[in-house]
Amino acid sequence: LPGAKAVQLTSRTARCFARRITGQKETDKTNNDMKNLLLIIICTLFSFTARAYDAYLGGIYYNLNKNDKTASVTYYYKYTGRVVIPESVTYDKETYSVTSIGNYAFTNCNDLTSISIPNSVTSIGVCAFENCTGLNSISIPSSVTYIGGLAFSNTGWYNSQPDGLLYLDKCLIGY
């Protein structure tokens, strides 16, 4: 243009000029930068492999309580066939009593066919066996005093029970 001065644009000036042309505000750019930073942080955090168990012994995953030397069976999506939970496990030269089956421990393990629970177990967590459609045989001892909601929902065993109240020893598990 006649009479126009030549101006060297810095990258910041160019960004501001581009925002003026497109109508984008400086705060939009700041918000986008913050969103990108947050996305990078989230991706970085989730890129680390998280371990949701303390020990893998005899084909079963456990969370261990080092204070009271107890173990809880924990979630693994590929338990199959017949699973026999032992009364105790030894890990790093310490023996732990298996006292519980954790929430969601066997959820969606469709190829699980039978489960044997030892006398040391006193609780079965929420949804512990939910959707284990192949689970037709369950051995639960009288030591179990707590069974979480939907623990056996949609298992072959549960679905084969007659309508009405369903008790396992002293625990009401369905109606």
Alpha-carbon span 159 to 147, nearest angstrom:
17
Alpha-carbon span 21 to 158, nearest angstrom:
66
Average pLDDT over residues 47-58: 69
**What is the per-residue pLDDT for 131?**
94
**What is the per-residue pLDDT for 71?**
97
Tell which residue, 5, 6, 27, has the closest CA to residue 16. 27
Alpha-carbon span 115 to 15, nearest angstrom:
64
More confident residue, 34 or 2: 34
Name the band, by pLDDT with cuts 50, 70 and 90, for residue 175.
low
Inform me whether the pLDDT recorded for 21 exceeds 90.
Answer: no
Can you read off the two tokens belonging to residue 21? 């042309």
* Mean of the per-residue pLDDT values of the chain: 78
**What is the per-residue pLDDT for 53?**
86
Alpha-carbon span 149 to 153, nearest angstrom:
9
DSSP class of 158: H
Name the band, by pLDDT with cuts 50, 70 and 90, for residue 101.
very high
